[in-house]
Amino acid sequence: MKSQEEHGLIRINNVSHTFNTSSGKIRVLDKLTITVPKNSFCAIVGPSGCGKSTVTRLVAGLLQADEGSVWLQDQKVTSPRPVVGMAFQNPVLLEWRSILKNVMLPLEIVPNDLNMSEREARARNLLELVGLSGFEEKRPSELSGGMRQRASLCRALVHQPEVLILDEPFAALDAFTREDLWQTMHRLRSEEPFTGLLITHDLREAIFLADEIFVLSGRPATLQHTEVLSKRGQKNLDDLYSPEASQTLNTLREQIKIARQHEGPLT
């Protein structure tokens, strides 16, 4: 058997999906195939409404595909599994819990053999890593948007998931905060072993964070283009202004343009 590095920790295999809504059927995914190698960080970009969030829900086991199959660690995904951590654009922190208790939430659900103080230590550790030490006892509403998103990342990672799924987590943040969080993402990646799947509509974000970028076509989404970045892993912001990065950015822009033409009439 091939290793998950080459074989793919996440494999989306010929997946098609149609939603039945009151206004008719919406075909969202069309024979989509994507492979994410273990320990890599991949980004998915594509026109809005093309089905990116649907892909994350399929990988997380929150949704079953009509056709095709999704594999995680060589196991077919049929229901949610705690090897996944998720963060969304909305940080969805629980206002009645402190930041620390919010981060510890997954450990109350996922089976683990940590005792209370070990759980707390793990959460504090992550909070420190993202620069939130000193804010453990605060309520979510006392934090800025960027800080809440940092806490949300900690919660997504606290149970040491194999896969971190990020669905436009930085979309609501201002440009400077966003760049700070990009760097935080790299720091997390160097300390925590996870395979990342990032949904974004920010092409520079994809270039800065990802090793590989998948461009989806307009709805119904299919894989239109794969961009393998020459510089993988750790990057710094200056790399974004290198000639290669500009080249990549141009390619991606072209691809998005094509993707948007592909899109059927607005429904």
Partner 1 sequence: MRQIFSATFAILVFLVLWEVLVWVNDWPNYKMASPSDLWPAFWRFKGLFLVYGWETLWRTVVGLLLAILVGSAIGMLMGLSRFAREGLYPLLVGFNAIPKATVVPIVALIFVGQHDLNTVLIAFMISFFPIAVSVSIGLSTLEPEYRDILRSLGASNITIFWKIALPKTMPEFFGALKVAVTLAFIGTNLMEIVSPHGRGLGALFDSGKTNSDYPLMFAVLISLAVLGIGLYYVVIVLEHFIAGWAEREID
Chain positions contacting ligand ADP, by CB under 6 A: 19, 21, 26, 28, 48-54
Q: How far is it, in rounded angstroms, from Cα 157 to Cα 189?
A: 10
**Considering the complex, what minimum distance in angstroms separates the CB of residue 53 from Mg ion?**
3
Q: Which amino acid type is present at position 198? A: L
State yes or no: residue 21 binds partner 1 (CB under 8 A).
no
Closest CA to 72 of 46, 36, 98: 36
Count of residues in the chain: 267
Tokens of 119: 């759980």
CA pair distance 141, 171, nearest whole angstrom: 19
Residue listed under structure tokens 């077919």: 76
69 binds partner 1 (CB under 8 A): no
Asked if 239 contacts 231 with a C-beta cutoff of 8 angstroms, the reply is yes
Q: Which stretch binds partner 1 (CB under 8 A): 11-19, 108-116, 176-184, 236-244?
A: 108-116
Binding mask 1-40 for Mg ion (x = CB under 5 A): ----------------------------------------
Shortest separation between residue 137's beta carbon and partner 1, angstroms: 13
What value, to the nearest 5°, has the Cα angle with vertex 119 and ends 114 and 121?
Answer: 125
Q: How many CA atoms lie within 13 A of 248 on its CB side?
A: 25
CB of 47 to ligand ADP, least distance (A): 7
Applying CB under 8 A, does 110 fall inside the site for partner 1? yes
Crossing angle of helices 99-109 and 116-129, in 10° steps, is 130
49 forms part of the interface with partner 1 (CB under 8 A): no
Query: What is the per-residue binding string for Mg ion in 49-88, x denoting contact by CB under 5 A?
Result: ----x-----------------------------------
**Contact residues for partner 1 (CB under 8 A)?**
57, 60-62, 79-82, 84-86, 88, 90, 92, 94-96, 105-106, 108-110, 139, 141, 155, 159
